[in-house]
Homo-oligomer: A and B are copies of this chain.
Amino acid sequence: MSYKDLTPSSVIEYIKTFTDVFPAGAQLEVYEVGGGEDDGDGFVNHIYRVWDKTGKSVILKQAKPYLKLFGEGVPLTAKRNQLESEIIKLRSAITPEYLPEMYHLDPDNNLFIYEDCGRLKIMRFELIKGKRFPQFPKQMGEFLAKSNFYTSEIYLDQMAHKFLECKFMNPEMRVIMETILFLRESFIEGEVDLPAGDPNHLAMSDLLWEKRELRVELLKLRGIFMKKSECLVHGDLHTSNIMIDENEMKIIDMEYPFMGPSSSDTGYLLGNLVYEYIAWFHHEEGTKGSRKAYRQEILGYIRDLITEYQQVYTACWDQDAKPMYREYTEYRDDLLRTYIKEACGFAG
């Protein structure tokens, strides 16, 4: 039976027929998330939340058979969804505590069913509200260090590493990031309508973008981003793809994985945190003192995340680096120095 495009009612039928996620006879309800055209996920995926009366709740994610942005003729996009489910499985073997649990895969219908993390909140909006997440730097530092180490050739067999490199080449999704992150024109000239900003701010920003030195440095960073095949990276790790509360953190939205530099996820995320830091000079909530304290909190996240990364990476190395690498700690330290240097670049 073909389930090429599920509807809310066929979602229930599908789950009952093909999975044992819920007990037989469970009364299921369904809600389509972000069905609106403006919603990022509604743009390229159908996402359904399904729950029963006990409160158990799962997410079903189905890729549309094309990326609207490029029209119906673009092939391979279904693979995007398969890659996402496979990278979740792969990362779950490394850091299960930071990934949603995967319940059901169906590559033929480009869908998978996974844990509903709805009990957690999107980090970006929580930072705007001034919420604190004391566990975050340790959690994120550990997630990044372990993901980077165990998908790199320092740990993996060379052949396995190259197999992963091809499996997650993911060219369509990479092109999006290679363009948006490093080449401003292409982004502006696209179909995205940016909200009108303060004309003075925009003029200042243009001045900066038009600086030749900046463009050359951006090309260098983009070169590292595109050419360095070091470990599997998330590829879109910003604070809207982190679900969090005081105790728990889950990383979502894994459609952009590829073999890239170990510094790129960290750098992109640090850039996000720096943005929130700056934003807290302009928020009006709280007092001058409380805003300053919250800015210090965010700076602390950055510092502690890097510290944790280095400690966890070092521990992984000492325990699990291949024998040919293990005793050469100078090489490890060189990799860590390069990681921090590049991450600062990507944060910019």
Contact = CB atoms under 8 A, between A and B. Distances in A.
Contacts of A335: 223
Given A229-B227, A331-B216, A334-B216, A162 B174 contact: yes
Interface in A304-346: 324-325, 328, 330-331, 334-335
A230 interface: yes
B158 A178 contact: yes
Interface string A218-237: 01100100111110000000
A328 B222 CA distance: 14
A166 interface: yes
A154 to B, nearest CB: 9
A175 interface: yes
Contacts of A230: 227
Interface in A152-211: 153, 158-159, 162-163, 165-166, 169, 171-172, 174-175, 178, 183
Nearest to A258: B162
B172 A159 contact: yes
Nearest to A172: B159
Which DSSP category, helix, strand, loop or mixed, fits chain A's interface? helix
Given A220-B334, A331-B219, A169 B171 contact: no
Contacts of A138: none
Contact of A227 (B175, B219, B228, B334): B228
A121 interface: no
A83 to B, nearest CB: 14
Nearest to A159: B171
Contacts of A216: 328, 330-331, 334
Contacts of A331: 216, 219-220, 223
A162 B158 contact: no
A215 B226 CA distance: 28
A50 B46 CA distance: 62
A80 to B, nearest CB: 14
A227 B151 CA distance: 13
Interface of A: 153, 158-159, 162-163, 165-166, 169, 171-172, 174-175, 178, 183, 212, 215-216, 219-220, 223, 226-230, 324-325, 328, 330-331, 334-335
10 contacts: A158-B174, A162-B169, A183-B324, A212-B330, A216-B328, A219-B325, A219-B331, A220-B331, A226-B229, A227-B228
Closest 10 A/B residue pairs (Cβ) = A162-B171, A219-B331, A216-B330, A166-B166, A159-B171, A227-B229, A158-B175, A216-B331, A229-B229, A227-B230
